[in-house]
Amino acid sequence: MSPLERLLRVARDFWVATFFLLFVPACGGPAIAEWTYVCGTAPLSAKAAQAPGVCGAGDPNLPPEPTFPTDICQELTSNKSFPDENNLDSARIQAALTGCKGRTVKLVSNGHNNAFIAGHLNIDSVILWVDAGTTLFASLNAELYQKTGSCGVPGINDSGACNDFITMSGTRPGIVGDGIIDGQAGEPLVGHDYSWWQLSGALREINGSIGNPTLINTASNTTGVLLYRITLHDPPKFHVKLTSVPPNGICERKGDGYIVWGITILTPRRYINSQGLFMTPHFARNTDGVDPGSTDIATCGVIACNTISTSDDQIAIKGGHWVSDLIIAHNHFGTGHGMSIGSETYGTYISPDGKQHRGVEDVLVYDLTIDGDSRAVGHDSSSADSNGIRVKSDPSRGGLVTNITFRDVCMRDQANAILVSTAYNPLFPGNLIPEFGTLNFENVRHVTCMELKQPVVTLEGYSARSRAGPIKLDNVVIDNMGPQAVAAEFADIRLGPGRTNFVPSGTGVVVTNEMTGNGPAKECVFPKLPAPELPPDWLR
């Protein structure tokens, strides 16, 4: 073979390899047909799989799926086609909400006029319905949310600086509809060249807590909250902070306290903002999806049939007050920091019957997919941006977490497949010792497709006197694990009866092996998830 022929062959091989790397799908395509891991996505989208009347049908654990209200008090029609800061709808929306307690206010489009824009709104004992094709935008004028004087001010570590975009309160408030609520947090604020997310990102190095507005928050003493089928995008901080209990204080059926059903969270919703900045989940700091117990107690809840892709915890159960009797079922997660409990777990509550309740207890999570392969997290991200199941606390905020079950969970390409940590932030001192009690993991599988790092499992109690457990691992299979991929200490662990493909060990670890066979690992299917909007000139 002549030197020229060799050069041509090298060039040919290079371009063939480049073609497959750039244009042949890395997951699900014929180039990787020989892989045994679960790659690709199901043809049915998550939204279609969770269509009304389909998701949750026949599930005896759940209440009936909610329906849209029929008692329309006022219908407001849009008069603009974009979020015009000079033409706010705050006054007329709030007037309708205030005048329609116990009934419903509906926002609708009028041809190309499909946008509403407002500052702070209060939904007190009323339902807001955002109709299909209609978007309610949060104003980018920081002064409309001003609370302490620091709202929208760079470099201020003040978590209470701003009011919420929407505050829910009273009896059976709700937000429903097939429309969109958009926080616009990746866009520059009025009069400035920086966004809410850039304000938050500037405090990342010191773990500072910016006071950006929460998209939807609930006040103390709220009962019977409903979120149904609404789509949420780009909040300045958290998407939903839930505080709600049954109206009569008694949990007769799950969902009496609150229901979050069929909502879609996608943040960031587009890859490029109006300034040409690249929007990634890592960039959209502190945008938790749904957080029960953030402001006060949250009991007797259902979070079902939702699709959540964001930058922080998809769901974080906050035990800084008390959270109990919660079902999380039939959900699909994309990017995020995990199906989480904590980090606050120190809460106590004395119920009217004189009984003391603590932390987070009696939670059932099942039929969940968590797909880290759904989109890139961001070039400056870390393993902390990619978690599957996470129970977290530390001595600055520790307390009780017990009677928690994770069942029928599929995860893909997570750096931390299962993370049970009593040292969430070891830099924060205190004497509030985490107390992790019964944690059940049943029919759980993690698979690998694109991730180059091997998944890690962490199961750690706090000390020899404050042990975690019992932690039950029943048919838990983590594919592609390395020999150093399991870290455990001060934990009581029970294996079986289903096969688990790893045996934890470490300081203070006691393992009871009750495995009875080598049954099949859980079969996993990952649906196609909603994706951010691409710029018009992108090729892919």
| Beta strand 240-242 pairing with 400-412 | unpaired
Among 314, 306, 285, smallest CA distance to 414 is for 314
The alpha carbon dihedral of 69, 74, 77, 82 has a sign of negative
Cα gap 22→59, rounded to integer Å: 43
Task: List Cα–Cα distances, 483 to 418, 422, 487, in angstroms.
Answer: 16, 23, 10
CB 424 within 8 A of CB 394: yes
Q: Is 202 exposed, middle or buried (0-12, 13-18, 19+ CB in 10 A)?
A: middle
Among 295, 293, 373, smallest CA distance to 333 is for 373
The partner residues of 457 in beta bridges, in order of sequence, read: 418, 486
The pLDDT of residue 451 is: 60
DSSP type of residue 470: E
The DSSP-derived string for 160-195 is: TSB--SEEEESBS-EEESSSEEE--TTSBPTTSS-B
Detail the DSSP E strand segments found in 62-133.
72-77, 104-108, 115-118, 121-124, 127-130
The pLDDT of residue 25 is: 39
Task: List Cα–Cα distances, 209 to 197, 281, 336, 430, 513, in angstroms.
Answer: 12, 17, 18, 19, 43
Cα gap 355→343, rounded to integer Å: 24
Report CA Rg, the chain. 24
| Beta strand 121-124 pairing with 166-169 | parallel
| Beta strand 509-513 pairing with 486-489 | unpaired
The pLDDT of residue 318 is: 97
What CATH class is the domain 230-352+359-540? mainly beta
Residue 477: alpha-carbon gap to chain centroid? 23
Cα gap 193→97, rounded to integer Å: 33
Residue ranges in the chain modelled with pLDDT below 50: 1-36
- What's the farthest any 2 CA atoms get from each other in the chain? 91
The pLDDT of residue 385 is: 86
CB 519 within 8 A of CB 537: no
CB 316 within 8 A of CB 365: no
Reported pTM: 0.92
Architecture (CATH level 2) of domain 66-212: 3 Solenoid (2.160)
Domains 66-212 and 230-352+359-540 share a fold: yes
Q: Where are the domains of the chain?
A: 1-34, 66-212, 230-352+359-540
Backbone angles phi, psi at 195, to 5 degrees: -105, 170
Cα gap 439→406, rounded to integer Å: 8
DSSP type of residue 384: G
The DSSP-derived string for 498-533 is: S--S-----TTEEEEE-----PPPPP---EEPP-PB
Catalytic sites, residue numbers:
312, 337
User: Which tens digits make up the pLDDT trace of 289-342?
Assistant: 999 999 999 999 999 999 999 999 999 999 999 999 999 999 999 999 999 999
Cβ neighbors of 22 (< 8 A, separation 6 or more) are none
Q: Is 425 exposed, middle or buried (0-12, 13-18, 19+ CB in 10 A)?
A: middle
The partner residues of 446 in beta bridges, in order of sequence, read: 411, 478
Sequence letter at residue 440: N
Task: Label each residue of 200-249 as H, E or C.
Answer: HHCCHHHCCCCCCCCCEEECCCCECEEEECCEEECCCCCCEEECCECCCC
The pLDDT of residue 452 is: 64
Sequence letter at residue 414: Q
Cα gap 8→5, rounded to integer Å: 5
Task: List Cα–Cα distances, 429 to 207, 356, 433, 504, in angstroms.
Answer: 15, 26, 10, 28
